[in-house]
Structure 1
Amino acid sequence: MLRTLAILLLATCALQAQAKVDSTQAARLGQDLTPLGGERAGNTAGTIPAWDGGLAQPPANYQPGMHHPDPYAADAMLYQINSQNMAQYQAQLPAGLQTLLTKNPDYFLRVFPTRRSAAAPQRIYDATRFNAQNAELISGGNGVDGAAAGIPFPLPKTGQEAIWNHIMRYRGDQISFVTNQAAVLSSGAFNLLKLERDVYFLYGREGVSPQDLDNTLFYYKYKVVAPSKLAGSALVVQETLDQVLAIRKAWRFSRGERRVRRLPMLAYDSMQPDTNGMATADVVDSYNGAPDRYEWNLVGKQEMLVPYNSYAVHQKGIPYDNIVRSDALNPELLRYELHRVWVVEADLRKGFSHPYAKRRFYIDEDSWQILAVDLYDKNGELSGLQESHPISYYDVPMFGSTLETIYDFKGGRYFVDGLDNNEPMYDFNAKLSPRDFTPQALRLGN
């Protein structure tokens, strides 16, 4: 028995050691690889350029507080893809995007020159190199140890490492913002839900060490502003790193009850409120939470047509009903580009239930932002598509989504989150602290 236990412990240690890379491999970061682990060089066809540092500084016409001006507004569209010609681009289109085009004959993709705009602060690059030689998966891959601030596994060897890179990527130090979300029914009808949101990131903060984290990634809070019948309801989340060791803590303030209640579970397949049953807890930010209910497979890297540099749909003053159409977002406002992405497949483990028995993720090599997800049901049928429409928030700098969507093919409906065109722009310098994300703060704020 003791001999067997010793063998198992040695095997576990060996698996964990494989997550780290040696100094020679780590030295590639910032050389032939980007500081976050992407390929610095362009592709042989010349359709993907070399990464030259991304958008690390705002353009001259930017002023703090603006909805970020489009630095690529002068780019001419290369070509357009629709249901009639998509066969010639099939190898570069996520399966869900092909289905979206097929089901909506009037929908199309506008494809533009590839701009590798993703950038992050130098300290994130420095931390990523440190993490490459020190980070390791723990708790069967359900947690990460030895990492702080940067990407934990910039040279991933497994699907779990790649998905942790997304979960732990840099998104600023703190943010206060106001956005709208909408569940668009098969009839095309929708109502906007306006939320005030605050996020305080612990993991990515300047000077943070692995010992400082105490199993915490970030703190999150929202308050419903409109419509009036729902205004005042609020939620606070304390996001843990290893959610098998300690599940995320969440409290909800109910306007009707005028009291704060601890939520027993806000993870995995539990449904988010006010999404008409379209958004599970783990689809926020394309994927979040513990990876323990899926088997993860790193398929490899591919060149795919994905949402990127979505500045057109981000601009100030666009009416929301000009963005949210009956079948899909307005394609005239969306931008697609050819990028190298990591393809990761997740298959639901036996004994667990979830609307999505299989997911295929397309993760940006330059930022580790998930850009698209094919969603499959328990019968193996393609049932949905997630998309993140990102920009470089060059004032931080940070690369992240400005809009996120989930298309439900069987229900003929979709959900969109992040509509902010007629709201104040994100405040990345908000005065926040962990004390703002407690049940007591939630009670006092209402």
Structure 2
Amino acid sequence: MAVYDDREAYIPYRRSDLIDLCISDGRLSIDQQTTFREFCDILSAYYHFQFHSYLETIKYNFEPFNPDPVTKVVHQPNPEEVQQMEAELIVAVTEVLERANYIPLTQEFLQRAFKVKSLIDLKTDIDFNEFEQIVFYYRGDITQTIKTKRWFWHKEVELDILKQIFVFLRFKDATYFEEKDVDISKLKFIPGKAYVYYYQNVPKPDLEFLFPNIKTSMTWKDRLLLGVPAIGAAIPLLLKVAPQMLLIIGVIGFLTLGRPVDIAALRADADTVKDLAPLLLAVLSLLITLGGFSFQQYAKYQNKKIKFQKDVTDTLFFRNIASNTSALSTLIDFAEEEETKEILLVYYHLLTSDRPLTPEELDDQVEEWMDEKFGTKIDFDIQGPLNNLANIRGDFTQADHLVEDQPLLSLDEQNRCRLLPLEQSKQVIDYVWDNAFGN
């Protein structure tokens, strides 16, 4: 059994497509094809029922941390109960993520990703101390070449992209922010609540934009692009206005003191006062020009800011699959699908093998089959589906005799996988499904 550093256990195909491919593979007889499909349907229904209990546990424990609840709470949990619910929530979510073949992203990995320049040219800052819990997982890591515009030419850039990302972020309580003199009403999140997101096709350098507490501002380059032209255009205007402003100050001094101000630059007399009206009009015109220019620069800044906000919104909105409760439900669907696919692949290859296989041989065979049929290289997780098949136990009838409590799969003394025949397997899964609601 080979071990790979550049492969994932994730199977990027639908369960229904895998079932169809197994049936069309030509290794099952017509009668077997019908029975195999029925077996797959019942097995899928059974695991849907199994994962529903996960969903109920997660939904119940998520309620105190839900930022947008749609139901009212009858019993408000005390702090000890909230702490226990959070612990159970994290355990359940993490277990489901791993069963869905997701890979954890550490805070160290995130920090390294943040240092890579994003295509969204923004200065960003995230305070990780504001979080009580961070659960960050991904599935699917690819490299994609895209074209970006740089001034007057286009440039091809290779981006590392994560296909699916699950994010669970629980903020610290309001006390933490109050102690830091933070105005809670201005926060973009609710302290003490948890925010859950599902994203797709996110470049690694853009991971920082997935955090609700991100602070963005213009880079020094953008500030210079706005500031330098503004200063350059403002200097001639100020030089043109300065003499008139000095003269006006001198006139005000003459009217106040009744005599010329004894400063050369501010000297004004009675004749100057007579010509004040046209002077004021000229200065007013210059001030309007200066004000118009200032407004123009401010408008440029606001437009730039709006463009940045749009870029961030596009990054989040068009890549978001689900949020909060719906994200948790989506996670359950993905885990149920992934686990069922693994079991079906293992069952099919044991069923059609001309000899008993060891777990290592079976693992290699599934990986080779996926590569041959789809051109997809995976690092198949063999132990999980073997355990699941061994744990599915039930009764079946053979030659008019009832055989009780038999597993679908067992290992012999040579550590080879022994599978029940297809007809008996269907009877066992039928038995398990019929008794599922009574257990």
TM-score when normalising by structure 1: 0.20
Larger % of helix: which? 2
Structure with the larger strand share: 1
TM-score by length of 2: 0.20
